[in-house]
Amino acid sequence: MRNDLPPRPTGAVRTRLLSVIGVAVVGVVTGSLLIWHAQLGDMLGLAADKEPVVSSVSAPAVGAPPATNLATTTPTRRPTHSPSTPSATPTTPKPPKKTVHKPTREESIDGLSPKLKGRLTKAIAAAKAAGVTIRITSARRSAAKQQRLLNEAIKKYGSYKLATRWVLPPKYSAHVLGKAVDIGPAAAMTWLNRNGWRYGVCRRYDNEPWHFEALTAPGTKCPPREPHAVAKAD
């Protein structure tokens, strides 16, 4: 009896085991198929996502599809919210997105003479405190760059004499010496024209509202403006 009984349960166990194994195998196979499908879907999805991103970057005026906009805006919102981690919020003030334009050496005050650089630094800080951003468009220029600008001006204005009202030859240019700065935008020009004398920085020419030099002692009146630049006789 004891010998007869075991086969029945083992047979039942075998069938159960087989069915369990079968189910497991089917499960694994279907699971792997699902994963494979999902991966394939991801690959296709990624491939489909890449195209609108590139097109929206290269041609922003066309208008990207709304689905990709949602997809791109959702992940950026997640880290900025994060109310559960208050310490992470002040450390991530999202500054890198605004720094699109990297200033060149000509657009920085680094190449300016120590006198103009020091005065301009103070003026820029004071303007900022007053809510005005002074942007350097051109400070120190190489002689080669100055010559290029002059050549372009001669083509534009038709003669050397007229061109030098706007662009002096390298050997006479205050920009080449690091003693002149061009700024923008218009609000900054207006502010520095009004307040530059406090820092010894003055607008020099009537025809160039963007051009400033260190023409007076800080806190004293700027000299009268000149109508335009004049190239000295060679």
Q: Catalog residues that contact Zn ion under the rule CB under 5 A.
A: 180, 182, 211
Q: How far is the CB of 182 from Zn ion (least distance, A)?
A: 4
Q: Which CB atom, from 52 or from 169, has the smaller least distance to Zn ion?
A: 169
Q: How far is the CB of 119 from Zn ion (least distance, A)?
A: 16
Q: How far is the CB of 102 from Zn ion (least distance, A)?
A: 22
Q: Which CB atom, from 71 or from 177, has the smaller least distance to Zn ion?
A: 177
What number of helices (H) and strands (E) belong to the chain?
7, 4
Q: Tell me the H-state helices in 59-142.
A: 66-81, 88-91, 114-129
Q: How far is the CB of 44 from Zn ion (least distance, A)?
A: 56
Range 87-122 burial, b when 16+ CB lie within 10 A, else e: eeeeeeeeeeeeeeeeeeebbebebbbeebbbbbee
Q: Which CB atom, from 119 or from 211, has the smaller least distance to Zn ion?
A: 211
Supply 69's token pair. Answer: 């906009």
What is d(CA 94, CA 35) in angstroms, rounded to the nearest whole number? 36
* DSSP symbol at 55: H
Q: In degrees rounded to 5, what are phi and psi of residue 39?
A: -65, -45
Q: How far is the CB of 139 from Zn ion (least distance, A)?
A: 9
Supply 231's token pair. Answer: 């190239």
Supply 166's token pair. Answer: 């706007």
Range 182-206 burial, b when 16+ CB lie within 10 A, else e: bbeeeebbebbbeebbebbbbbbbe
Q: Which CB atom, from 180 or from 214, has the smaller least distance to Zn ion?
A: 180
Q: Which CB atom, from 72 or from 157, has the smaller least distance to Zn ion?
A: 157
What is d(CA 7, CA 106) in angstroms, rounded to the nearest whole number? 93
Q: Which CB atom, from 116 or from 180, has the smaller least distance to Zn ion?
A: 180
Residue nearest Zn ion by beta-carbon distance: 211
Q: Which CB atom, from 72 or from 216, has the smaller least distance to Zn ion?
A: 216
Q: How far is the CB of 194 from Zn ion (least distance, A)?
A: 19
Q: How far is the CB of 79 from Zn ion (least distance, A)?
A: 43
Supply 174's token pair. Answer: 């205050």
